[in-house]
Structure formats: C-alpha cells, structure tokens
C-alpha cells in the first residue's frame, strides 16, 4: 500500500465523512464518548460531519463517530484499538483493559513527549519538520504509523489494519499546529542504536521455567510488575509484541522495560496477533489458499522477528502466533497449518523457536492431528486455551501426552479474571508453563558460493552466472527455498525472491535488484560495529553497502576509513543519525532494503 494518501479524488477531510460505515462494520460503537473539557485538550464538532480534536497545540479532524477519550480525566481508560477512537494524554500506570482483547479497527494516541513516551520511538518513527504537523511519507511498521511532532511536543501513534490504513492517513493528513503549540524535542538518543551496549533481555525467553504466569492485553507498568513480583504467585508474563490484530496499545513495552523485567527475574513469553483463520468472521484473515497462507505466515514471522529484535528479545526465544478459536473444516485446517508452517520456517531461519496459541478444541487439536504429517512444519511449542481451572499442562483428549512433551507447553487455564497485588489491579488470563529452551534449529548459512562482488547487478528470470548462484544461496539461507544453487535463475528462484520481498515489504516482482540485494546481504545478527571492528558482521556490512550505495566498498572484514565513510554516506542518504556506528537502526534500514 502506498505510504501516503492518493493525491487525487476527495480531500482527506471530505473522505472522513464516509469513514463511519467502514468502521461500524468492523467494530461495535456502543461505548460512550468521553469529551468533557480537560487541560490542554479541546473537542469540537464540525458542520462537515467530522470532529476536530486539539491537544497541546496539535489539531486533527476525526470521523464524527470516533470516541474521544481524555486520559487526563480518565487515567484508567484502556487504550484499545478494537473500536475507533482518539486518545489524548499519557496512558495511566493502571488500566481497565480486558485481558483477552483481540481485534483492531483504527485508533490514534496523542501523548506528550516525555522520557517514557520516547521509549516507544524506533528507527521507523517519523519526525515532522519545523512548522509542520504532518509527515506524508511516514512509514507504517507493523500496521502502526508513529510521528513525533516536536513543535507541539507530542508523539502521535496511529494504529490501523490494511483496510483502514488510508482512513488513518487521511486523519493524520488533517493535522495542524495551533497557537497553543510549544516545542519539546525528543531526547537525542531516542530511536537510535545504543552506543555502548544495547538494551536486551537477560537471555532467550521464556527460557526454562516451570510454574505460573499470566498474560494481559497491555504490558503492565514497571511499578505494577515490581508489586506483583513481590506479592503474586506469578513469575512469567505474556506480552503482545507484534501483529496487525493486537487490540491494545503498548506504552510500557520498550527495550528498557524488557531489560528491567528480565533482570528482575520475570520470564516473558512473546505473542504475535496477526491473521486469523479463514473460516472466522474476523476482519483480518489468512488466505484459504494454503500456498498464500504459508507466505502470509512467513511475513508475520519476519515482522515478529523485527519486533523482538527491537525489544532486545534475542534469538533462541520462542514467539507464539495467536490464532483464535475457529470451527474447523478440512480447508480451514489446511490454511492454518500452512500459515504456521511458514511462520515456523521463517522463525527458524532467524534463530527463533515457534509457538502456537489457540483454543485446545480447535487450532491445537488440528495441529495435533497432523503432528507427523511431513507436509507441514511442526511448531516447537504449544500455548493452549482450556479454561478448566487446572494449573497444569495436561491436554486431556485434545493432544496426546507424548506430543510436545519435552517442556514445550503453556496452559491458559483461566481467563478474564482481575487480581490485585501491592495496590495494582490487572485483568489477566492465568497460565501454567512447563517450557525449556530446547535446541533452536541452526540458522542456515550461505556456503559454497562467492558472495563478494565489486557490484551487485540486477538478476532476474533467465539470468545466469555467479551472481545468480549467490542470490540463490542467500535466499535459501534466509529460509526461502530457491532450489539448488546452480547459477540459473529459474521459477524456484523467482518464487523465493518474491516471497522474500513480500516478507520485507519490498515490491514482490521476483527481480533481485539493489534493494533486494541489500536486504539479503545484510541479513544476520545486528552486532554493533564501528571503526576498528573486524569479522563477519563487517563483511556483511561491506557487501550490503556496496549494493545499497551502488559503488564498490572494499570487502575485507575490516572497518577502516573507507567503510566508515560509506556508513556515514548511507546514514545521511537514508535520514539516519550520521555517526559512523552501525547499530540496530542502521542494520534495520539495511535489512529492510532501504
């Protein structure tokens, strides 16, 4: 989808008038509006059928039927995206979110720039220019557009689905500064790679653990986590790190939060909520075609890996795909298991383990029925909902006791309960974990082919030679079977290239050009390297820079002056901080094919 609204047809403000029908079809609009006067905020209906909302000198027009929630007046309000709303102010330390909220329509959060909100800033966050409140070219990462409007001192987070992205961009396009705007700049380090040691979990998550845990729609605040650590029976927490169908905002879920909680002894089980089974009524569904569903699973896993990496959740961790209950049919089961096959294969190629969350009576039973079917790639861990109140990992008749029996289970045994410890109440699902690190499948490496070239020319169907062999090897190493690396660009290589491109958000044309070369060559660990560094990460960097800049960068594995200049040129041309240090921000741009 285009990163900016179409320049023709109706204006953004006029398009807002017809938005209600779409959103009403996606979610119930039964909750009341919270639009009373509040400090620094203003809400005003317009004759055009929209609603003007202002906060801290930042003003936008939203559809008239959107909720407007003032978080200053309602600090416990759940910042939820399953119904269209705009939230003004900083989310509170405690919230009233239901634990198992799945689904998304559209929503916008406008909050002050503070040390806390700056923790949400990543390399994908856009920054409005001086005197502007809009950034038409702002990218969407994991179906979220985030813009720092420093002239008004606000961070704007806009969540959407593929169906509502245009609407959300139309709303953002109406943004203006008002006379109340006061500039607050983001901290200089916000969204940039760490210069000493990146924030990270203490090890693979959840690691080896036997005992109770819980999951909540929004990651609790550090204060709440500290209180629960002291008083609750729980030592593990499920966190929703990625997925286009997450229902809640995640203001607390940052790399700093992950580092803090895991350092304090908490175990995390990361969850992705993406496409649902094709036989459901959810608005975001996987394809009923198994091949397409498999490709969608690959794309979801690639997004989840990026999210995990940004949060400091390392390779070796298990990431669980949340596929809600469905009424199974043969075709629906085939689509779900194909999606999970792509999910698992892509996670394995990135060094992660795959997990699967679903109802024991539908998705889990389907996976167990095909446990030994080589047509599907088996997930590594199960996370099953069976609300029988038993804190154990017994699966009854749903899964044979010999399947996923080597510390590979999480049982969600009770749902939607509110518990209070140390003065903090959270609505949770109760879980019991018996998990172990197991053995992460080794990340495929690209051997037997020359990868060092002075230029990476475009190759495509019909091409042949050493560059094609290199592309085939790199695609296969990334988890996309390009066939035998024989130097002949045939149908298997074209299909692998298209699938890889789709997973990276690139034009899926099957042509390996500069952007695809850059993403392929940069793939691997995002080790921080700088002047004086040596080794394999530097070699990968030099190859990727050669492709990205279109000029020869010496490939010798030594980060010398020429490499330093190439890094700075790349950072400058891509709008990154120009410091010559290659951390998560620069690696992320390279691995995205920028």
Condensed to tens digits (0 to 9), the pLDDT of residues 294-338 reads 999 999 998 898 889 888 898 889 999 999 999 999 999 999 999
Share of the chain above pLDDT 70, in %: 88
Cβ distance 189 to 301 under 8 Å? no
Instruction: Report how far residue 238's alpha carbon sits from residue 161's, in angstroms, rounded to the nearest whole number.
Output: 23
What confidence tens digit (pLDDT) does each residue in 336-361 have? 999 999 999 998 888 889 999 999 99
Residues 371 and 374: their CA atoms lie apart, in Å, by 8
Average pLDDT, the chain: 87
Rounded CA gap, 79 and 91, in Å? 7
Q: How many CB atoms lie within 10 A of CB 364?
A: 24
Considering just the CA atoms, what is the radius of gyration of the chain in Å? 24
pLDDT recorded at residue 391 = 96
On the question of a cis peptide bond just before residue 206, with omega within 30 degrees of 0, the verdict is yes
Q: Of the given ranges (64-68, 201-205, 418-422, 568-572), which has the lowest mean pLDDT?
A: 201-205
For the segment 495-512, the average pLDDT, to the nearest whole number, is 88
User: Binning pLDDT at 50, 70 and 90, where does residue 38 land?
Assistant: very low
- The whole-model pTM stands at 0.68
Tell me, what's the pLDDT at 438? 56
**What is the mean pLDDT of the segment spanning 94-100?**
82
Pairing mode of beta strands 381-385, 353-359: parallel
Q: What is the rounded distance in angstroms from the CA atom of residue 321 to the CA atom of residue 357?
A: 6
For position 15, what pLDDT does the model report?
52
Sole residue written with tokens 């845990």: 213
Residue 528 has pLDDT above 60, yes or no: yes
User: What's the burial of 522, exposed, middle or buried (CB within 10 Å: 0-12/13-18/19+)?
Assistant: buried
**Sign of torsion, CA 5 89 144 108?**
negative
Between CA 591 and CA 100 the distance in angstroms is: 33
Over residues 375-389, mean pLDDT: 95
Rounded Cα gap, residues 292 and 271, in angstroms: 22
Question: What's the average model confidence in pLDDT over 104-123?
Answer: 90
Q: Which residues contact 254 (CB under 8 A, 6 or more apart)?
A: 119, 120, 311
Under 8 Å between Cβ of 86 and 60 = yes
């Amino acid at each position: 989808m285009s990163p900016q609204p179409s320049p023709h047809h109706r204006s953004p403000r006029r398009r807002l008038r017809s938005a209600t029908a779409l959103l009403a079809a996606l979610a119930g609009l039964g909750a009341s509006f919270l639009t009373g006067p509040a400090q620094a905020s203003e809400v005003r209906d317009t004759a055009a059928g929209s609603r003007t909302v202002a906060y801290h000198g930042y003003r936008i027009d939203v559809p008239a039927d959107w909720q407007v929630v003032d978080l200053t007046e309602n600090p416990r309000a759940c910042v939820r995206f399953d119904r269209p709303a705009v939230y003004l102010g900083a989310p509170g330390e405690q919230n009233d979110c239901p634990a198992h909220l799945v689904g998304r329509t559209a929503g916008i959060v406008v909050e002050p720039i503070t040390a806390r909100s700056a923790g949400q800033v990543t390399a994908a966050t856009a920054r409005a220019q001086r005197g502007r409140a809009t950034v038409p070219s702002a990218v969407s990462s994991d179906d979220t557009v985030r813009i720092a409007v420093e002239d008004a001192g606000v961070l704007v987070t806009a969540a959407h689905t593929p169906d509502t992205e245009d609407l959300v961009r139309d709303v953002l396009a109406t943004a203006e500064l008002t006379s109340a705007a006061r500039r607050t700049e983001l901290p200089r380090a916000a969204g940039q790679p760490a210069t000493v040691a990146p924030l990270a979990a203490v090890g693979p998550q959840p690691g080896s653990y036997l005992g109770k845990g819980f999951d909540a729609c929004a990651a609790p605040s550090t204060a709440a986590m500290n209180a629960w650590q002291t008083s609750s029976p729980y030592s593990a927490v499920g966190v929703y790190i990625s997925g286009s169908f997450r229902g809640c905002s995640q203001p607390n879920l940052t790399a700093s939060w992950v580092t803090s909680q895991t350092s304090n002894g908490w175990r995390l089980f990361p969850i992705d909520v993406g496409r649902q089974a094709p036989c459901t009524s959810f608005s975001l569904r996987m394809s009923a075609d198994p091949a397409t569903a498999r490709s969608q699973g690959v794309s979801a896993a690639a997004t989840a890996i990026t999210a995990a990496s940004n949060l400091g959740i390392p390779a070796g961790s298990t990431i669980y795909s949340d596929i809600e209950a469905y009424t199974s049919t043969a075709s629906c089961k085939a689509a779900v298991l194909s999606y999970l096959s792509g999910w698992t294969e892509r996670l394995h190629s990135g060094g992660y383990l795959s997990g699967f969350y679903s109802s024991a009576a539908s998705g889990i039973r389907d996976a167990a029925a095909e446990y030994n079917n080589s047509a599907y790639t088996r997930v590594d861990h199960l996370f099953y909902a069976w609300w029988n109140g038993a804190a154990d990992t017994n699966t009854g008749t749903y899964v044979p006791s010999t399947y996923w029996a080597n510390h590979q289970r999480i049982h969600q045994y009770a749902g939607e309960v509110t518990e209070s410890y140390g003065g903090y109440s959270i609505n949770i699902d109760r879980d019991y974990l018996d998990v172990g690190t197991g053995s992460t499948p080794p990340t495929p490496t690209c051997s037997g082919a020359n990868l060092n070239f002075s230029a990476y020319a475009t190759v495509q169907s019909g091409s042949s030679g050493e560059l094609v062999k290199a592309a085939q090897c790199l695609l296969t190493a990334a988890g996309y079977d390009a066939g035998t690396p024989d130097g002949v660009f045939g149908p298997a290589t074209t299909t692998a290239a298209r699938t890889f491109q789709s997973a990276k958000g690139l034009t899926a044309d099957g042509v390996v050009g500069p952007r695809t070369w850059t993403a392929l060559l940069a793939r691997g660990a995002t080790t921080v390297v700088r002047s004086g560094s040596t080794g394999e990460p530097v070699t990968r960097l030099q190859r990727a820079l050669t492709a990205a800049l279109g000029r020869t960068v010496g490939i010798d594995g030594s980060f010398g002056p020429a490499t330093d200049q190439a890094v700075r040129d790349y950072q400058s041309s891509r709008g990154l901080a120009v410091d010559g240090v290659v951390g998560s921000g620069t690696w992320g741009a390279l691995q995205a094919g920028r």
